[in-house]
């Protein structure tokens, strides 16, 4: 989740009536699945005017007489279902309710077409305003966790993953980057239409559009194409800050498994941001993170956002209750990269953060932190410590097997904390039998289900010498272009 520096934080009083999942925040509908979004957007930067048409391929999961889509702050001009008007539709309170002309049985595929327009603005949330937001000269879309409805009608649930085609027309000389593979940039009458194809299953909060006056700099072409879009005056600073990006990618492929997407794009906005954010195949940073005179914090934020491509984007959570699976792995990646790159060791950082957490209130349960504490820093740090404790208990080789199995088995899918428990028991059984399974299950109960901070088990693990040697003294001839 990200906000512009200095943005307002407003709590949302009363997100609706009783709901079965308090972590859904009144968004999304589990009764249907959106298989594909086809978005045609026309945006005017100077006037902040967005016109859109959204074509959704929807599959019903149970018999339905209506569909409820999330869309906030924009006006709906028309709705069609399978090319014909529905019985009726109503757009109120951020929800577009479409009454079907005829009830649809389960497993019916419907084509839903929505035309809409307005001045897009972020959605208020307990963590600040999220979604489509104007920069001083351009746009940032930071949708985690509930901001996607600020720019397109959607089933806003992290577990409802879809493919996308996104087309954005914007006046010249603005550049557009969206999640997915660039397909075309078609100039016409003072504007350009930018088209992107996203074939990988993507959660709505990971869909994004970024608009600005950007230079496109290729950091490395292969084996994973990595590029940064950055304001021209910040190119030199971004190059400096990202000089080790290819080696970081190599390290994470070794530690986590194959990179799950076709490419990786970084965006540096001209404005400062409070924190960066991840999107599908992309990460967005502020000028204060990667520009000239950037914050020292960038040294840990860059690996954190890259790690999210495996943990959160490729393997996504089935619900926000399990957010530690995204943030714990990404935070642990910061510590791993520190050791790989010659900084403090993973074990030293874990010990330091354990000491710091021990001085904080012991009232957060990692497996069920509560909706208001999703982005509490204790979720991040305790999540990373849980993984470090698990690695200490399993041993380095079994832990490596666990991580590679996790990212491979669940690639393109969704997971829960129970899935991690099951895999840990599976790996423990292979490496140490029933006694090791019992140790791992007890450890995870202590770290995930009880608020009191457990001690770190020993002994301290260390990264494989071959990985440290290779990355501290790379033999690869690849270099940023």
DSSP states of 243-284 as a string? TTHHHHHHHHHHHH-S-SSSEEEEEE-SS-BSS-EEETTEEE
- Residue 59: predicted pLDDT: 98
Known binder of ligand: residue 233? no
* Full domain range(s) for residue 452: 316-468
- Residue 479: predicted pLDDT: 32
- Residue 337: predicted pLDDT: 97
- Residue 126: predicted pLDDT: 87
Are 209 and 257 members of one domain? no
Residue 305 designated active-site: yes
Q: Could you give phi then psi for residue 311, rounded to 5 degrees?
A: -110, 95
- Residue 460: predicted pLDDT: 63
Among left, alpha and beta (phi > 0; psi -120 to 50; other), residue 479 is: beta
Alpha carbons 23 and 46: distance in angstroms, whole number: 36
Alpha carbons 300 and 285: distance in angstroms, whole number: 12
116, 264, 332, 380: the active-site residue? 380
183, 213, 243 — which closes off a domain?
Answer: 213
Please identify every stretch of the chain with a pLDDT value under 50, giving residue numbers as ranges: 1-19, 475-481
Known binder of ligand: residue 27? no
Are 304 and 373 members of one domain? no
- If one counts the domains in the chain, the total is 3
Residue 380 designated active-site: yes
Are 378 and 264 members of one domain? no
Helices 465-472/324-340 angle, 10° precision: 70
Instruction: State how far the alpha carbon of 368 is from the alpha carbons of 220, 417, 422, 449, 450, in Å.
Output: 40, 10, 17, 8, 10
The pTM assigned to this predicted structure is: 0.92
In-domain check, residue 33? yes
160, 192, 213 — which closes off a domain?
Answer: 213
- At 401-446, the pLDDT tens digits run 999 999 999 999 999 999 999 999 999 999 999 999 999 999 999 9
Are 49 and 124 members of one domain? yes
Known binder of ligand: residue 327? yes
- Residue 391: predicted pLDDT: 97
Are 292 and 384 members of one domain? no
Are 95 and 194 members of one domain? yes
129, 133, 278, 305: the active-site residue? 305
**Beta bridge mates, 195:** 167, 184
């Amino acid at each position: 989740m990200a906000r512009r520096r200095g943005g307002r934080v407003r709590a949302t009083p009363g997100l609706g009536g009783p709901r079965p999942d308090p972590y859904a925040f009144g968004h999304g509908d589990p009764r249907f699945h959106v298989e594909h979004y086809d978005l045609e957007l026309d945006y005017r930067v100077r006037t902040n005017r967005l016109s859109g048409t959204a074509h959704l391929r929807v599959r019903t999961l149970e018999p339905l007489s209506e569909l409820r889509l999330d869309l906030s702050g924009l006006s709906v001009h028309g709705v069609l279902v399978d090319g014909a008007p529905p019985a009726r539709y109503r757009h109120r309170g951020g929800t577009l309710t479409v009454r079907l002309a005829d009830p649809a049985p389960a497993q019916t595929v419907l084509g839903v077409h929505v035309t809409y327009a307005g001045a897009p603005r972020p959605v208020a949330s307990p963590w600040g305003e999220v979604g489509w937001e104007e920069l001083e000269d351009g746009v940032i879309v930071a949708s985690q966790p509930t901001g996607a409805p600020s720019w397109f009608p959607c089933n806003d649930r992290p577990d409802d993953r879809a493919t996308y085609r996104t087309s954005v027309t914007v006046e010249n000389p603005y550049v557009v980057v969206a999640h997915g593979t660039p397909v075309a940039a078609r100039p016409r009458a003072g504007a350009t239409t930018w088209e992107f194809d996203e074939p990988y299953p993507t959660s709505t909060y990971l869909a994004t559009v970024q608009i600005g006056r950007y230079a496109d700099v290729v950091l490395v072409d292969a084996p994973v194409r990595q590029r940064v879009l950055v304001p021209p005056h910040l190119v030199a600073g971004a190059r400096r800050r990202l000089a080790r990006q290819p080696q970081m990618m190599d390290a994470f492929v070794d530690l986590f498994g194959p990179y799950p997407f076709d490419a990786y794009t970084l965006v540096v906005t001209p404005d400062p941001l409070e924190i960066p954010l991840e999107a599908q195949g992309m990460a967005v940073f502020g000028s204060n993170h990667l520009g000239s005179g950037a914050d020292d914090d960038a040294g840990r934020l860059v690996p954190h956002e890259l790690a999210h491509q495996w943990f959160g984007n490729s393997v996504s959570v089935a619900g926000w209750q399990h957010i530690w699976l995204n943030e714990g792995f990404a935070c642990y990646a910061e510590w791993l990269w520190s050791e790989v790159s010659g900084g403090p060791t993973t074990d030293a950082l874990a010990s330091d953060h354990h000491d710091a957490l021990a001085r904080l209130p012991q009232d957060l349960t990692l497996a069920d932190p509560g909706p208001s504490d999703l982005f509490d820093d204790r979720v991040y740090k305790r999540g990373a410590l849980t993984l470090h404790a698990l690695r200490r208990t399993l041993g380095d080789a079994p832990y490596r097997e666990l991580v590679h199995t996790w990212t491979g088995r669940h690639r393109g899918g969704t997971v829960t904390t129970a899935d991690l428990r099951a895999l840990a028991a599976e790996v423990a059984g292979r490496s140490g039998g029933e006694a090791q399974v019992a140790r791992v299950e007890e450890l995870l109960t202590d770290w995930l289900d009880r608020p009191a901070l457990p001690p770190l088990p020993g002994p301290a693990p260390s990264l494989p010498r071959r990985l440290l040697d290779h990355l501290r003294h790379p033999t690869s001839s690849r270099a940023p272009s």
